């Protein structure tokens, strides 16, 4: 394993707290999966045989409902784990993992990871922490979807994305991945039309700069303000 990747694994939340030698042991049974271009790491309903840790790129986690509508659950960035959900209980992935461009991940056979967790309980505890966080995040998003209006949800989504994979630039924070209106709509439970209109408004107002599949937040704190506005606001203006 290349040293750079090794240090990335070392920093991954999944392996936090492991010693150097333990990490060696762990990485012994890992396999590198590299995508040279856009493609799937796995598809919904595939047999869940492996668990992944992304080392490079971005992965979109989506789910297709039986009727064909798609929802977008999360973006996986470097260091993050994915594909852990189907592996233990049911034996198939409940979601698809897709990358829009080149990406690299290390992966472990599910059974192998299971025995690693028994050998090093620390890993299991890390998994528990990661899953806990993820539940909280899903709960938050569920709450937003249930109680906030579209504008806030989209603003929140943009900020979340910027925090996760934004790069600071002179004139704002660029969200560093392909991101269509459709993607944002699937994340926030709305339609691409509505997202398009919203972004347009914000762009006109100077809050963002958007191009095809690319969004830069020029005034993030204004978005944050929108994201924190009163909830189902404004029956009537106070007069």
Partner DNA sequence: AAAGATCTTTGCGCCAGCGCAATGACCCGG
Partner DNA sequence: CCGGGTCATTGCGCTGGCGCAAAGATCTTT
CA atoms within 13 A on the CB side of 88: 8
CB of 15 to a copy of itself, least distance (A): 16
| Site membership for DNA, residue 211 (CB under 7 A) | yes
| Site membership for a copy of itself, residue 232 (CB under 8 A) | yes
Among 24, 138, 193, 234, binds a copy of itself (CB under 8 A): 138
Among 33, 45, 63, 182, binds a copy of itself (CB under 8 A): 63
Which residues 71-130 are close enough to bind a copy of itself by CB under 8 A?
71, 73, 84-85, 88-89, 94-95, 114, 117-118, 121, 124-125, 127-129
CB of 112 to DNA, least distance (A): 36
| Site membership for a copy of itself, residue 235 (CB under 8 A) | no
CA distance 75 to 161: 8
CA distance 149 to 30: 44
Q: Looking only at Cα atoms, what is the longest distance across the chain?
A: 69
CA distance 47 to 126: 24
Secondary structure (3-state) at 77:
coil
Q: Interacting stretch for DNA, rule CB under 7 A, among 88-96, 125-133, 148-156, 222-230?
A: 148-156
- In the list a copy of itself, DNA, none, the entry touching 200 (Cβ below 5 to 8 angstroms by class) is DNA
CA distance 9 to 107: 11
Secondary structure (3-state) at 208:
strand
Closest CA to 9 of 26, 34, 111: 26
Closer by beta carbon to DNA, 63 or else 191: 191
Residues that bind DNA (CB under 7 A): 149-151, 180-182, 189-194, 196-197, 199-200, 203, 210-213, 232, 235
């Amino acid at each position: 394993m290349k040293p750079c990747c090794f240090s990335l694994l070392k920093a991954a939340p999944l392996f936090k707290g492991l010693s150097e030698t333990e990490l060696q042991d762990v990485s012994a049974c890992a396999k590198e999966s590299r995508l040279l271009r856009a493609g799937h790491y796995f598809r919904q309903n595939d047999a869940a045989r492996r668990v992944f840790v992304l080392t490079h790129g971005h992965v979109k986690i989506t789910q297709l409902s039986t009727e064909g509508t798609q929802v977008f659950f999360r973006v996986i960035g470097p260091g993050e784990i994915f594909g852990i959900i189907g592996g233990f209980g049911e034996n198939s992935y409940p979601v698809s993992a897709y990358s829009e461009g080149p990406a690299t991940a290390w992966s472990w056979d599910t059974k192998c990871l299971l025995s690693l967790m028994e050998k090093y309980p620390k890993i299991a505890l890390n998994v528990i922490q990661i899953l806990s966080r993820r539940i909280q995040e899903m709960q938050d998003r569920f709450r937003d979807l249930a109680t906030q209006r579209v504008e806030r949800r989209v603003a929140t989504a943009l900020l979340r994305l910027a925090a996760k994979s934004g790069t600071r630039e002179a004139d704002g924070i660029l969200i560093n991945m392909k991101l269509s209106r459709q993607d944002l709509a699937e994340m926030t439970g709305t339609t691409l039309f509505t997202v398009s209109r919203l972004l347009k408004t914000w762009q006109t107002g100077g809050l963002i700069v958007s191009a095809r599949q690319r969004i830069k937040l020029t005034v993030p704190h204004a978005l944050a303000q929108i994201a924190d506005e009163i909830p189902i606001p404004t029956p009537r203006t106070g007069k």
